[in-house]
C-alpha cells in the first residue's frame, strides 16, 4: 500500500506543469501576480518559440517575465502590456497572434485546408462508389440476343 501511495505522489508531481518563474520574480500583490501569470502564458519565449515565457527557463524569458511585472506594477493594463511587447518584439511574441489583415493568412489557411481535405475525401468516396447496375434487357432485346446466339452456334457446327 505504501508503494502505491508513493507512485501516486510521483505521478502527481510529474503531471503538474513545470513553471520557470523564480521566487524572486513573484510579486507581493496576489492580484498583480495572477495577472502577470495570465499574461506570461500568452507570451512566446523568443528563444524556445513553442513555450510560453511562464514555462521557459531561458534568460530572455526571465527578462520578459520581469518586464511584464514591472509594467503591471507601474499601473499598465493587460492590453497595454501586450501592446508594449508587440511594439517592441513584434507580433511573434504572442502565442495566439491577433486577427488582423497581415495575419489573415495564418488564421485562414487551417480552415481552408480542412475544407479542401473534406472535399477531397468526398470526391474520393464518390469516385469509388460502384456504378449503377445495367438495366435489364427488354423482351425484344432478349429475343434478338437468343437469335444471334443460336445463329452463331449453328455457324460453329458447320
Position 84 in a domain: yes
Residue 46 belongs to domain spanning? 34-92
Position 151 in a domain: no
Paired with 43 in beta bridges are 94
- Rounded Cα distance, 147 and 103, in Å: 74
Position 43 in a domain: yes
Predicted confidence band of residue 16 (pLDDT cuts 50, 70, 90): very low
Q: Is the pTM of this model over 0.85?
A: no
Which triple of cell numbers denotes residue 61? 524569458
CATH number of the domain bearing residue 87? 1.10.8.640
Position 40 in a domain: yes
Q: Are 72 and 65 in contact (CB under 8 A)?
A: no
Q: What is the pLDDT of residues 93-136, one digit of tens each?
A: 888 877 777 777 777 888 999 999 999 999 998 888 877 777 78
- Longest alpha-carbon distance in the chain: 112
Position 123 in a domain: no
DSSP tag of 91: G
Kindly tell me the sign of the dihedral angle through the C-alpha atoms of 23, 25, 28, 32.
Answer: negative
Predicted confidence band of residue 13 (pLDDT cuts 50, 70, 90): very low
Position 51 in a domain: yes
Pick the residue with more confidence: 149 or 30? Answer: 149
Number of domains in the chain: 1
Q: Of 74, 32, 38, whose CA–CA distance to 54 is shortest?
A: 38
Q: What is the pLDDT of residues 28-87, one digit of tens each?
A: 778 888 888 898 888 988 887 788 888 888 888 888 889 999 998 898 898 999 999 989
Predicted confidence band of residue 15 (pLDDT cuts 50, 70, 90): very low
- Please say if the pLDDT value at position 21 is more than 90: no
Position 69 in a domain: yes
- Rounded Cα distance, 70 and 33, in Å: 11
Which triple of cell numbers denotes residue 1? 500500500
Position 120 in a domain: no
Predicted confidence band of residue 11 (pLDDT cuts 50, 70, 90): low
Amino acid at each position: 500500500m505504501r508503494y502505491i501511495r508513493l507512485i501516486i505522489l510521483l505521478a502527481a508531481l510529474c503531471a503538474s506543469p513545470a513553471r520557470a518563474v523564480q521566487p524572486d520574480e513573484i510579486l507581493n500583490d496576489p492580484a498583480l501576480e495572477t495577472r502577470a501569470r495570465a499574461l506570461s502564458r500568452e507570451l512566446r519565449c523568443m528563444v524556445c518559440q513553442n513555450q510560453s515565457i511562464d514555462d521557459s527557463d531561458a534568460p530572455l524569458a526571465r527578462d520578459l517575465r520581469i518586464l511584464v511585472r514591472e509594467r503591471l506594477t507601474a499601473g499598465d493594463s493587460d492590453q497595454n502590456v501586450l501592446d508594449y511587447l508587440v511594439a517592441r518584439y513584434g507580433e511573434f511574441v504572442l502565442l495566439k497572434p491577433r486577427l488582423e489583415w497581415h495575419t489573415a493568412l495564418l488564421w485562414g489557411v487551417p480552415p481552408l485546408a480542412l475544407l479542401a481535405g473534406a472535399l477531397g475525401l468526398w470526391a474520393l468516396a464518390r469516385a469509388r462508389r460502384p456504378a449503377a447496375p445495367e438495366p435489364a434487357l427488354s423482351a425484344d432485346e432478349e429475343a434478338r440476343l437468343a437469335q444471334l446466339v443460336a445463329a452463331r452456334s449453328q455457324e460453329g457446327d458447320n
